[in-house]
Every structure is written in structure tokens, then in C-alpha cells.
Structure 1
Amino acid sequence: MLREFGGKKTMTSYGQFCPIAKAMEVLDERWTLLVVREMLLGSTRFNELRRGVPKMSPALLSKRLRTLTRAGIVTRTPAGYSLTTCGAELVDVVTSLGIWGTRWIGELGEQDLDPHLLLWDLRRTVPVTAWPRTRTTVAIRFDDIPRAKDWWLVVTGDDADLCDYDPGFEVTVTVRTGLATLTRIWRGDLSWEAALRSGRVTLDGPEQARRALPTWIGQSTLAATPRP
């Protein structure tokens, strides 16, 4: 049965007055907080949101967006979707969950690895100010997966583009590695230095570009989280 939350219908009630229970009535459906995460990271259009949750069906994403809109967490605009004041206040909740997950849930299985999500996450947080001001292309090749193994990250000025096909630009440096390895680097479980030293990552290109590559790509915003 649906209930009222701030005058809007949301999820089945836990039947508790506890504020945590009341919040979870809105937020604990599968994928809901990940959709909020994507919006906090700047995604506003439906297709952008889909790229951040590639294993979520379009129909389910539409359903979750409708639920969040009814709950007053998301609003629909001509440009797409945006968080309301209420929704934007979830930033500390999502960040805290990310920190906790980084600290205490470090094991990854094969089902957790996704080149589309990894490269999309990398592209939207890449430190473009550390790159040359002229167009620079980094090719990334995963040597341990049969599909979606070749990617190109193109940075021009302050714009970063991600391609899963050869854009035809001269490649400045090529990264060869495994999907699990780059995922661990991005999460902060493995340093660029250790991965390069062990040969789990190899770089092809001019020495200056090879030296700069770890800075160009960087790591996720949660990578620096201290581990126990």
C-alpha cells in the first residue's frame, strides 16, 4: 500500500515513527540511491542517468524517477531532471555510504566489474585542468574482456569526451591493463605506482605523456578514504 510523504505518495510504510524508518520508506527500493548518486554527480538527462546505471532497465529507471518525483526529491524540468532542496540534502548521506563502503566492503566479484560504468565515472571526474590545453587522446585497452575492451578518452580544453569507437584522432598514450586492475586503481585499492611497477598496467607513448598519465586520469573522489 502507498502512503503519503510530504503530501506525495511513496513507498510501503514500516509502521514506525523512527525518522530513519520514514526515510527508508522512500529510499530503500533497489537502485533508488544510485539514481540519486547520479544526479548528485551532475547527470540531468535520462540518457546520462542510464550511463551511470547501465544494468538498470529504462522502464525501471523511469519508474524510480516517478517515485522520487512524487516524494518531492526530484523535479522534472524542460532540461531533464534535477534534485529539489530536499533531494540535494542527500549528498552527505550518499557520501557517507560511499566512505563506509570503501572502508568496509572492499571485495569485488566479477559481477561488480563494468567497463561502461568505470569509464563513464572516469570521464565525468577526470581532472581536465591537468591535461594539455590542446586536444589529447588516451586510448584504453582492456586485455581480459571479450567485448567493450577498447575506449578512447578525448580531452580538449575543459571538455572531456568518451568514445567506445576510434574517433580518428592521434593517440597520445595507450593504456593496456585488465578491467579489475583499472577498477581497483580507480577505487583507490591499488596505486598507479604499484600497478605500473608490477606490470599490471603498461603505457605506450612519449615519456612525458607516460609520466603524466596517472595525473591525467587520477582516481575517484573516494579513493583517498582511509582503510582500516
Structure 2
Amino acid sequence: MKQQRRNYGQYCGLAGTLDIVGERWTLLIIRELLTGPCRYNELLANLPGIGTNLLADRLKFLTETGLVRQRRQEGAKIRLYELTEQGEGLREAVLALARWGLGVLSTPAAEDAVRPRWTMLAVEAMVDPSAAEVDEQYEFRVDGEVFHVTVRDGRVSVAHGKADGEPALTVHTDAVTFVEIGAGRLSPLEATLTKRLVMEGDGEAVLRCSRLLGLVG
């Protein structure tokens, strides 16, 4: 039996969306799964403060509503949670919210959590496809998390893992620095001069990547 939840009682697309994803923590669970399938304990670790009972409740509801499904990890007994096609349909909405949210971030408090995997979604939110110039890849290494951006035939994709072959640019930084740059609170130049950001690649690739992410005009 599906869980009975409060709803807005409004015949409206936005209200219908909020009936499903408007509860506290739900969109953050979606955020985690947009970066790839996760084990339950990974979700719990990357959502500090949620509590295991609440996480289980939210996952059960999202599974019942068809946004999330479980599958066995290949060659193991571990269960993974992943988004269904319907859940993936929230990607653009979540990216738009993340993009908007970067503009309202202030200085992080000491107790604010940050995870390197969140930077992958931040990059995806920052990408301006109209600035895709040259077919190449940029690799990001953020606190041990590795992902890459591929520009190919005017299209841009972001994926886990190392770039295929030699990337045109490799970026080394930490999660806090990257979010501060994305939020416009720290310039790439200042981050580079203070060695919070290290970029390996030719100057033209640096400029192309910066334009792609909206960091320069």
C-alpha cells in the first residue's frame, strides 16, 4: 500500500510536483542519485542530519511513486538505489534550482557540510552549451572525486571517472573552493594565486573551459 501523504489539493502541475518532491530532504536525495546509483549507507553519509528512519521513509515513498528503484550491484549482494526514467526527468529542474541557488550562497559556516560529489552536479548546472567551442575534455579532481566534462560536436556531457585519453585541462581543487568559485564569491584567478586551485593545461583550454562554465565573459 502506498503511503498517504499530505498534498496541496490543487489541480496544477507545480502543485503536483511539490506533492511528490516538496517534502524536506526529498530533492537532496534526488540530487545524490542524479550523480549516479548509491548504496543506502552512501546516501546516509552524504546527507548528514537526515537520520536513517527518515531516509528509509523517503526512499520508500520515492520508490512507490516510481522515481526511484532498487537493483543488485553486479557480482554482489549490495542493493543500489537509482533513478528511474521518470526520476531522471527531474534533472533539468534540479539543475535550474542549483544554478539559481549558487547566486544566493553566502560564506559557508563552519558546520556546513560539503561533499566533492556535489561539485559534479554544480559543474553540470554551470555549463553553457552555447559556449561549447572545441571538441575536447576537461578533467576535475576535487578532494579525491574525479569526473570529466566532454565537449563533442557542440554538445556537453559530464560523467564520473577520468577523461578518455589526455584531457586538454586538468583541474585540482577542493569542494569548498569550487562551490565558492561557482557562486562568484571567489575568482578563479584569486583561487589560483592562493593555490586553492591548480590548473594543468594550455591557456586557451583554460579560457575555453572558463567560458563553458560561465566564469568569464
**Uncovered stretches (5+) of structure 1, i.e. residues with no partner:** 1-6, 132-137, 141-151, 161-173, 204-209, 216-222
Deviation at 1:23, TM superposition (A): 1.5
SS in 1 for 2:41: helix
Q: Which residue of 2 aligns with 1:153?
A: 144
The equivalences for 1:182-201 within 5 A come to 183-185=179-181, 187-197=183-193, 199=194, 201=195
The equivalences for 1:5-84 within 5 A come to 8-79=2-73, 80-84=80-84
The Cα RMSD (Å) is: 3.9
Runs of 4+, deviation exceeding 6 Å = 123-126
Aligned mate of 2:213, from 219, 224, 228: 224
Q: Which residue of 2 aligns with 1:121?
A: 118
What TM-score do the two structures reach when normalised by structure 2? 0.59
Bigger CA radius of gyration: 1
Matched length: 166
Identity %: 28
Question: Structure 2 counterpart of 1:71, which letter?
Answer: T
For residues 123 and 94 of structure 1, what CA distance do their matches in structure 2 show?
A: 13
**Uncovered stretches (5+) of structure 2, i.e. residues with no partner:** 74-79, 124-136, 147-159, 163-171, 204-211
Closer/same/farther in 2, CA of residues 60 and 28 from structure 1, 3 Å limit: same
For residues 84 and 18 of structure 1, what CA distance do their matches in structure 2 show?
A: 23
For residues 9 and 20 of structure 2, what CA distance do their matches in structure 1 show?
A: 13
Question: Structure 1 counterpart of 2:106, which letter?
Answer: E
Closer/same/farther in 2, CA of residues 187 and 14 from structure 1, 3 Å limit: same
For residues 83 and 63 of structure 1, what CA distance do their matches in structure 2 show?
A: 16
Question: Structure 2 counterpart of 1:72, which letter?
Answer: G
